[in-house]
Amino acid sequence: MEPTDVIDATESESEPVADADDLVEEELLVEEISIDGMCGVY
Amino acid sequence: MLSFDADQPYRLHDRVALRPEPFGALAYHYDNRRLNFLRAPELVALVESLGSHDSVRHAYDASGIDARRWPSFEKALASLAASDFLVAT
């Protein structure tokens, strides 16, 4: 029988957890729109 | 496309007009006819102040914007520079 890899579930538990205060959601601060082709709209 | 360098001074392009809006401002470039929504009043203030600082980082420092938000602002400024709304001085 071929050896199988065993995933140690405890590994992920030992990873550092970021402090909630350090987590800042990335903000979408700029949005570019094209107005080409709108000349006939107005 | 030139890369954005926050250690360099930038300013708003002479041919860009900002119109204040409740969400921030509309920015229109009269040369390339591009339109950008600036979605935060802090970003508008930062963009307007860039010309009076010798680097973007100094403008960040003076803005009072939480440093944890700087990456988002830098991304926004890089996007504006790529669209020629900001020019290196």
d(CA B12, CA B43): 12
ipTM attached to this prediction:
0.86
Among A21, A25, A29, A38, the residue to mutate for chain B (most B Cβ within 10 A): A29
pLDDT digits (tens, 9 = 90+) for A1-42: 566 666 555 555 555 555 656 666 889 999 998 777 666 554
d(CA B52, CA B40): 20
Walk me through the domains of chain B, giving residue ranges and CATH numbers: 10-88 (3.90.930)
B72 chain-A contacts, CB cut-off 8 A: 24, 26-29
B69 chain-A contacts, CB cut-off 8 A: 24, 27
B30 touches chain A (CB under 8 A): no
B69 touches chain A (CB under 8 A): yes
Asked if residues B37 and B44 have their Cβ atoms less than 8 Å apart, the reply is no
pTM here is 0.78
SS3 state of residue A12: helix
pLDDT digits (tens, 9 = 90+) for B42-61: 999 999 999 999 999 999 99
Instruction: Say yes or no for a CB contact (<8 Å) between A31 and B83.
Output: no
Region of residue B41 (left: phi > 0; alpha: psi -120 to 50; beta: else)? alpha
pLDDT digits (tens, 9 = 90+) for B57-73: 999 999 999 999 999 99
Residues 13-42 on A with a CB inside 8 Å of B are: 22, 24, 26-36
B63 touches chain A (CB under 8 A): no
Percent of chain A, pLDDT > 70? 26
